[in-house]
Amino acid sequence: MTPESSIGGSQRNAFAALRRFSCAAAESAPADVPAALPAQEIEQCELCNLRLAPEHRHLLERATRKIVCACDACTTTFVPVVKGRFKVIPRDARALPNFQIADADWENLALPISLAFFFYDTPSQKMTALYPSPAGATESLLPLTAWEQIVRQNPVLRDLQPDVEALLVNRAHEARDYFLAPIDKCFELVGLIRMNWRGFSGGEEVWKAIEKFFVALKGAARA
């Protein structure tokens, strides 16, 4: 397991995405949490400066793994980009109600908590597992054989879009929720947990926030 501070450059830059989802809780954040950007800046297209609606698209800057807010026109411009500067982050999450994973297979992933997301990281050319923590997103060493077993049981995972789409898993308490989710949605969950975590176990409020997040995600996700 590798803490955030020791992850390679491409992964460290991904954690800058947390700032995009921390505004609502900025005033109550601990002192070591980076200050949120001003609301008017967050709601501008970072490519053309057009003012954005609260619900807007995001791009992933490939070299830095920075999540960039974008207007529809700029998003359309970069849709065909495969080897260029940006990749478009999908808009919708997909629920996986028939997802198959045995408890033993989950334990073989050696994750310390029951919330995690998995995506193919092009710069490092490997599947990557991150889990939320009070310090932000933390990388876990992902046993390749364990992941391959999960893919064999769930061929839909072969359709994951590299870098911008992840398998998001919630097995906290009695939950068994699985989604193919946009990577920005996964970092939104990371930011939510970081902003609401209190004490050693997180406190009641963070678990209420997590439950609310997944209820909303499930309601919005397509089958």
Does residue 134 carry a pLDDT above 50? yes
Kindly state the average pLDDT of the residues 134-158.
89
More confident residue, 86 or 28: 86
Residue 142 — very low, low, confident or very high, per pLDDT cuts 50/70/90? confident
Note the pLDDT tens digit of each residue in 59-114: 998 778 889 899 988 888 766 554 578 889 998 999 999 999 999 999 989 898 89
- What percentage of residues in the chain have a pLDDT greater than 70? 78
Encode the chain in three state secondary structure.
Answer: CECHHHCCHHHHHHHHHHHHHCHHHHHHCCCCCCCCCCHHHHCECCCCCCECCCCCEEEEECCCCEEEEECHHHHHHHCCCCCCCEEECCCCCEECCCCCCCHHHHHHCCCCCCEEEEEEECCCCEEEEEEEECCEEEEECCCHHHHHHHHHHCHHHHHCCCCCEEEEEECCCCCCEEEEEEHHHHHHHHHHHHHHCECCCEHHHHHHHHHHHHHHHHHHCEC
